[in-house]
Chain A
Amino acid sequence: MAKDIFIHTPIRETESVYHPVQFKKAVYAHLLKNFDEPVIERLLKTAVTSMEGYLDSIKKNILLKDRKALRNTLHALQGMLINLGLEEEANTAKEIQNILKLHDFQNINSLIENFLQTMTDLLKELQKNIT
């Protein structure tokens, strides 16, 4: 069966290049190229709200086993992450989308769990000091 071709595809564990505390520094460094602190704070407030929605949606779609909806959410999140300067995390979001085209959830459980944990850490870091 064609499906068997993909079962043994090696799937790497995601490893963020950042410690959670470094996330915010990395995002700030990226946004400081174009904006001052008040603008960055406004942008980060919006990023936090968007990310909260994306993480809720990812969890819901995993429970519902809705691969298409999950891929759509990951695509949107990927677009946000890359504009936050988090290329490695954006690439992981893209990698999960690609795998979801071919695999069922059980094949990528650990990858999604690790990614969700990384995103939760990022969210917590961004939420700090945002008034």
Chain B
Amino acid sequence: MSLKHLGNKNILIVEDDAFNMQLLRSLLTKISNMNIIPSYDGAEALHILESAKEKIDMILLDIHLPVMNGIDLLGHVRQHYSYEDLPVLIISVDKKDKADLFRMGANEFIHKPFDIYDLASKISSNFTT
């Protein structure tokens, strides 16, 4: 299992828990060459999206975030990007809001606990190129 064929795409991870962030980074570093951009709240992530010099290719987005939550950030993102242009994969421990988040434009769900095969499969299938 490897995502190295995807090259060094830019993946923005928005997750406020430092352990879960480090865990995701460690998992992705193990299976890919992707450039990981960490963000710990929704407002910071939005700033990164709007000011990044290089294109962000995917977002892994937690829902419960300080300052601006993941739902609001997803709303902002979908005002400016289509599904194909910027895949947003929701990180969640709950499954209850799944239908609403799909309606809002989420492409995929990654449930906690993280599973490396599930993570690789969902990231790979949501890249268009």
- Distance from A129 Cβ to chain B, minimum over Cβ atoms (Å): 18
Alpha-carbon distance between A35 and B30 when the two chains are bound, in angstroms: 9
Expressed in whole angstroms, the minimum distance between the Cβ of A56 and any Cβ of chain B is: 15
In whole angstroms, how far apart are the Cα atoms of A17 and B114 in the complex?
22
Interface residues on B, range: 10 to 19
Given known A-B contacts A34-B27, A80-B17, A82-B93, A46 and B64 have beta carbons under 8 A apart: no
Check A83 against B22 for contact (C-beta < 8 Å): no
Residue of B nearest to A33 (CB): B116
Interface flag for B2 (CB, 8 Å): no
Q: Is the CB of A75 within 8 A of B18?
A: no
In angstroms, how far is the closest chain B Cβ from the Cβ of A77?
Answer: 9
Which of A35, A72, A83, A87 has a CB less than 8 Å from the CB of B20?
A83
Q: Is the CB of A39 within 8 A of B19?
A: no
* Separation of A47 and B64 alpha carbons in the complex (Å): 18
In the complex, whether B26 has a CB less than 8 A from a CB of chain A is: yes
A residues near B16, Cβ cutoff 8 Å: 76
How near does chain A come to B40, taking the closest CB pair, in angstroms?
Answer: 12
Question: Which of A35, A39, A76 sits near B17, CB closer than 8 Å?
Answer: A76
The answer, among A34, A42, A80, A87, for a CB contact under 8 Å with B116, is A34
Select one of B17, B26, B27, B116 contacting A79, CB under 8 A: B17
Task: Mark A residues whose CB is within 8 Å of B.
Answer: 30, 34-35, 39, 42-43, 46-47, 49-50, 72, 75-76, 78-80, 82-85, 87, 90, 94
**Extra contacts besides A50-B18, A79-B112, A83-B112 (8): CB < 8 Å:** A39-B26, A43-B22, A50-B19, A76-B16, A80-B19, A82-B93, A83-B19, A94-B93
Q: Which residues of B pack against A, CB within 8 Å?
A: 16-20, 22-23, 26-27, 30, 62, 64, 93, 112-114, 116
Q: List 9 A-B contacts (CB under 8 A).
A: A34-B116, A35-B30, A75-B64, A78-B93, A79-B93, A83-B19, A83-B112, A83-B113, A83-B114
